Structures are given as C-alpha cells and as structure tokens.
Structure 1
C-alpha cells in the first residue's frame, strides 16, 4: 500500500513529520480526507483537529487554529498558525 509523506509545521517549529496512511483536516469548505494518490490540493484550514493515521497504526491529532494544507503527489504539507494541543505523538519527528 502506498504511503503519504506528511509534514506538519507551525510558524515556529516542525511539529510532526513521517509516513502516514491517511490525513484528515478541517478546511473552510468542510472536512478533507487525504489518501495516497490524492489529486493535487490547496485548502485553507479553519480551527479544528488535524488527524494523521500513521503507517504504524497509530494516530497523531493536533488541534489547530487555522492555516493551510497542500497535497502534491504523495507529499502532504500542513502549515498551521498555531497548535494548541498535540496527542498520540510517536517518534516520527525527523
């Protein structure tokens, strides 16, 4: 199964980076689900929870205040204004 390469960054630091099976993010137009092979996408995020289902069967959840998500091939870049809470963090930060 193909994987996504995900980078979750805030204005002041890299929050999480690693391989994932799925990403779910709160865009201003509704919840966006991203799997490997997703069409290119650029979406503005509203406050809510970004969820990354990792390749290791765990989940990383970050409560964010806004930002944007970009999908290009199997590379997902999530740039957020601020992360207010992070849970499920595994040692995937590179």
Structure 2
C-alpha cells in the first residue's frame, strides 16, 4: 500500500514523524482526509484532533491548535501553534 511521509511540528518541537497511510485533520473549511496520491494543497488548521494511521496500522491522535497543513508528492507537513500527542 502507498504511504505518506508525515511530519507534525509545533512551535516548540517535533511532535511526530513517520510513514502513514491516512491523515484526517480538521481545517477551517471542515474535516479532510488525506491518502497517498492526494493532490497538492495547503489548508489552515482549526483547533482539534489530527488522526494519523501509521504504516504499521497504529492509530495516533494529535491535539492541535491552529497552524497549517501542506500536501505535496505524498509528503504531509503539519505545522501547528501548539500540538501534542493525545
């Protein structure tokens, strides 16, 4: 199965980084799901939970407050003002 290279960072530190099969995040326009092959995009994050399904099938929840999400060539970068693994 195709994978995404994911990096979640906050203003203070790197929160999580690794391979994933799916990302679900809350944006100012609503919830969005990202899979491998997703079109390039940039979105503004709303306060809420980011759900990551890792390549090994583990589910990780990250609480995030503000920031943005970028997708380009199966690379997802999430930069949040504040973020922590829930």
Aligned pairs (5 A) from 1:53-68: 53-68=53-68
Partner of 2:15: 15
**Where do 1:1-94 residues align within 5 Å?**
1-83=1-83, 85-87=84-86
Query: Partners in 2 of 1:65 and 1:10 — Cα distance?
Result: 9
What TM-score, normalized to structure 2? Answer: 0.96
Structure 1 residue 61: Cα displacement: 0.5
Cα RMSD for the two superposed structures: 0.8
Q: How many residues are aligned here?
A: 86
More strand by share: 2
Alignment match, 1:91? none
Long gaps (5+) in structure 2: none
Cα distance in 2 for partners of 1:4, 1:74 equals 5
User: Would you identify which runs of 4 or more consecutive aligned residues in structure 1 move more than 3 Å?
Assistant: none
